[in-house]
Amino acid sequence: MTDLMQKTKKELVTMIQEMEISLLSQQQEMLRLQTNYDSILEQSKQQDIVNQEINRQNEILVSENHQAVLEQKRLQDELETARIDNHQARDHTLHIQEALDKLTIQHDTLKQELESFKQNTNENAGRSTMTYELFKSFVDSDARKVILIDNTYAVCYINPSAAIHLQLPEPNVVIGRRLFDFFEYRDALKLKRKIDRAFFSGEKEKIREITFRNLKNREIEIDMKLMRVRYQEKPSIRITIK
């Protein structure tokens, strides 16, 4: 009986030892698991931090991508606007070129017309000079006393016979002066009415007993016959003094 109890006691001790070893092993395993868990938990926290950073970077990238999309759209809009402006500028340039071509043609035409006009003017001036010289050669030697005035009533020609009759030192002293400067107001008014009638009607006009006062205030009573003529291609009045 004693042997049995001792044997049982040994077995119990052995069992207890085994249980203690098993418990210790379980505790060690639990400690290892706890350590692993803590490590995993720490890794999980680190992963969360990494994930948060990744999410933040993703948000930044999404925002930048959105801005890039907006910028791309803005650039596309600007490019389209630039294309439209370029097209309009091309059209405007074409219009300007067409207008310039027309102006060039007009300029060339006007230049040709101007050259033709100058040539005609020179020819007319030559003919006018020849006509004037021919007229002057006849009238200068004419015994009739002739004065020509233009449409401003200024004396533009007087022949030697008229200058002598009016007691002028030479014909040129009255050239360019108004005819009315040599008459009293009443006579000048009467003379102007006659000149105007001759200008507008083209009919011959006469005026009698009118007093001409020369540069030395000498008074000479004269009669006049007025007729509209052209002198140097301009309308004039020829006055014949009697």
Strands (E) in 88-144, as ranges, are none
Taking the C-alpha atoms of residue 96 and residue 88, their distance in angstroms, rounded to an integer, is 12
Query: What are the extents of the domains in the chain?
Result: 97-141, 144-241
Average pLDDT (229-239) is: 90
Quick: pLDDT tens for 174-225. Answer: 999 999 999 999 999 999 999 999 999 989 999 999 999 998 999 999 999 9
Bridge-partner residues for 148, per DSSP? 157, 238
Residue type, 123: E
For the segment(s) 144-241, the CATH number from 3.40.50.150, 3.40.50.261, 3.30.450.70, 3.30.450.20 is 3.30.450.20
**Would you state the structure tokens that stand for residue 175, as one six-digit string?**
């050239």
Quick: pLDDT tens for 44-68. Answer: 788 888 788 888 887 887 888 788 8
Q: How far is CA 156 from CA 68, 115, 172, in A?
A: 88, 30, 9
Residues 187 and 180: beta-carbon distance below 8 Å: no
